Amino acid sequence: MSDKGVKDELSTELLRWYDAHARALPWRALPNSGQPTDPYFVWMSEIMLQQTTVAAVKEYFRKFTALWPTVHDLATAQDADVMAAWAGLGYYARARNLLKCARVIVADHGGVFPKDRDTLQSLPGIGPYTSAAIAAIAFDAPETVVDGNVERVMARLRAIETPLPPAKPELVAAAQALTPTKRPGDYAQAVMDLGATICTPKSPACGICPWQSPCRARVMGIAPELPRKLPKVQKPTRLGTAYIARRSDGAFLLETRPDKGLLGGMLGWPCSDWSVDAPDPAPPLTANWIDHGLQVRHTFTHFHLKLTVLVADIPESAAPDRGHFIDKHAFQPSSLPTVMKKAIALATPWPLRD
Ligand code: SF4
């Protein structure tokens, strides 16, 4: 059979499987449902799914689309409300870019998502992967979408033994060679679903896989070993201190982190630097800081963090060098990023005792 014949047969088999087994996801219009695909939903889900699991994203997606059902609604939202709604999802630059992008789409594109990949990629927060995903899924453009699931499926289907990350170009080329011109959006989602539900990392269910017959790794008996990976570089551990101050009227001292940098734009406890060498103390005001031996452990993409938590009760007249007080009734731990939530959870019941 010709290369084109093989390609057509593979995509036909996979699409047949997808028509019967597509995952129901809150942002997805199921095949043959007659529902239109909403580019706003596709865009938002793709931004949220960067570095984040489907299970974690579902709840946030529902919350965001209930609060801001259209790109116009999101474009007029308050920055602080969007950052608070994003709290806990991580990678906070995504939330800032989400807002920027919504505002650009409304201001420069009349509130309509552009269809072509180049224009999509010129928007804030949209890189090569996300532009391909939006173009394919929202507009059925024949773009190749390669996430971790697709890499795994391609490595196995074609028995590519080069380890990741050097294997990436080979895996992209393998995926490109198979991208069909018919229903490319459904095909892109089908490969991802196959990787997420059948061709799973540890125990691929080859017996029920629509690609079991052409799959080379299955025939060779090496499917669970692929994709191979270079040994991971050990993450360094950084140290830091968080300062939780409670005023005598119950208000907490919090600080909005600088836009650039980790947890940028998010609300948090005033902190010292986070560095591998013990950082200098940096309390936001002079107070009787008490060390109860509390330490938060948290892992970011590139490092582990050990954050010592110091607490202080301060008078109403206290004048901190930085940060701002939030009334005890307005304070919502759920609006903090996870590491900051862990700090207040550890310090409780100290702040709530009176
Ligand atoms: Fe993955 Fe097995 Fe299907 Fe190959 S046959 S694509 S290894 S699930």
- Sorting pLDDT into bands at 50, 70 and 90, what band is 351? low
> Which of 171, 193, 200, 209 has most ligand 1 atoms within 8 Å of CB, for mutation?
209
Residue 252 above 90 pLDDT?
yes
Mean pLDDT of the residues in the chain: 94
Residue 1 above 70 pLDDT?
no
Mean pLDDT for 148-153 is: 97
Mean pLDDT for 323-336 is: 93
- Sorting pLDDT into bands at 50, 70 and 90, what band is 348? confident
> Which of 149, 152, 156, 222 has most ligand 1 atoms within 8 Å of CB, for mutation?
156
* pLDDT (0 to 100) of residue 4: 76
Residue nearest to atom 4 of ligand 1 (CA): 215
Among 88-97, 181-190, 222-231, 268-277, the minimum mean pLDDT is found in: 88-97
Ligand 1 pocket, Cβ-based, cut-off 6 angstroms: 153, 156-157, 198-199, 204-206, 209, 211-212, 215, 217-218, 223
Mean pLDDT for 88-92 is: 90
Q: Please write the tens of the pLDDT for every residue from 40-60.
A: 999 999 999 998 999 999 999
Mean pLDDT for 143-159 is: 97
C-alpha to C-alpha distance for 21 and 319, rounded to whole angstroms: 60
CATH superfamily, with its number, for domain 3-225: Hypothetical protein; domain 2 (1.10.340.30)
Q: Please write the tens of the pLDDT for every residue from 264-300.
A: 889 999 999 999 998 999 999 999 999 999 999 999 9
Distance (angstroms) between ligand 1 centre and the Cα of 154 equals 9
Respond yes or no: is residue 46 known to be catalytic: yes
**CB of 67 within 8 A of CB of 75?**
no
C-alpha to C-alpha distance for 104 and 112, rounded to whole angstroms: 10
Residue 36 above 90 pLDDT?
no
**CB of 92 within 8 A of CB of 100?**
no
Percent of the chain at pLDDT exceeding 70: 98
Q: Please write the tens of the pLDDT for every residue from 107-121.
A: 999 999 999 999 999
Mean pLDDT for 24-52 is: 93
Chain CA centroid to CA 159, Å: 29
> Which of 11, 158, 211, 226 has most ligand 1 atoms within 8 Å of CB, for mutation?
211
What is 237-347's CATH topology?
Answer: Nucleoside Triphosphate Pyrophosphohydrolase (3.90.79)
Distance (angstroms) between ligand 1 centre and the Cα of 149 equals 12
Distance (angstroms) between ligand 1 centre and the Cα of 230 equals 22
Q: CA of 340: how far to CAs of 140, 244, 263, 303, 305, in Å?
A: 41, 10, 10, 16, 12
pTM over 0.85: no
* pLDDT (0 to 100) of residue 87: 92
Residue 352 above 70 pLDDT?
no
- For residue 241, report the phi and psi dihedrals to the nearest 5 degrees: -130, 135
Q: State the Cα torsion 341-344-348-354 to the nearest 10°.
A: -120
Domain extent listing, the chain: 3-225, 237-347
The amino acid present at 331, given as its one-letter code, is: F
Distance (angstroms) between ligand 1 centre and the Cα of 156 equals 6
Q: Please write the tens of the pLDDT for every residue from 290-307.
A: 999 999 999 998 999 999
C-alpha to C-alpha distance for 51 and 90, rounded to whole angstroms: 9
Residue 353 above 80 pLDDT?
no
Residue nearest to atom 5 of ligand 1 (CA): 212
